[in-house]
Chain A
């Protein structure tokens, strides 16, 4: 019984830890904050101009990571640095939540490599 309780509490902690890890922003707020993004990345998150990436359906935390990298210069891009400069961490979470939740044309490479069925 004791062991079961210990195991259960471990499970609870793990579940809690993973929700923290996956904590994401508010997509509704993100939509309002993403107005400037739409000009290049499309209102549906699928940029028409091929020099800009599709964001619709990209992983939430990857978008957050990219935005932080543009903001702090780990990715050196003049346009995105300017866009990012005024975004708070909360803004970044919200915007990433919005774009990651849109219908996507993206996929992983699973099934798209020579030899794959």
Chain B
């Protein structure tokens, strides 16, 4: 009985560990996805038009914040036509991968 309990405990822990690993994004996949972002976010000082303000620096930004922001553009909590369209093209996994890569770039 104890052996069975130990076994199930080990199984549960293994499951939790993989679930945790799964939740973290894949940086390498994220690096491929951010190719699109670089058109605007990769040009130092590049300006948004109407209204005019610099496109934010996103390399090194915090992971969960990036996830929340992209979901905000998807849901309409954040209104920005270009970012709305870009975010629509990303799956939840894509968003996690992008966030994992960008946050890993903190200097």
Contacts and interface: CB of A to CB of B under 8 A. Distances in A.
A89 B75 CA distance: 28
Given A59-B53, A59-B56, A104-B107, A109 B79 contact: no
A62 B56 contact: yes
Interface in B53-107: 53-65, 68-69, 72, 76-79, 103, 105-107
Contact of B65 (A53, A69, A109): A53
B41 A50 contact: no
A51 B42 CA distance: 23
Contacts of B56: 58-59, 62
A69 B32 CA distance: 30
A113 B31 CA distance: 6
Nearest to A57: B57
A106 B61 contact: yes
A113 to B, nearest CB: 5
Contacts of B1: none
Interface residues of B, number: 39
A62 B53 contact: yes
A49 B78 CA distance: 21
Interface in A57-80: 57-59, 61-62, 64-65, 69, 74-77
A117 interface: no
A112 B59 contact: yes
Interface of B: 31-32, 34-35, 37-38, 41-46, 48, 51-65, 68-69, 72, 76-79, 103, 105-107
18 contacts: A47-B62, A50-B63, A52-B65, A53-B61, A65-B48, A75-B72, A75-B77, A75-B78, A76-B72, A77-B72, A108-B57, A109-B38, A112-B105, A113-B34, A113-B38, A113-B42, A114-B35, A115-B35
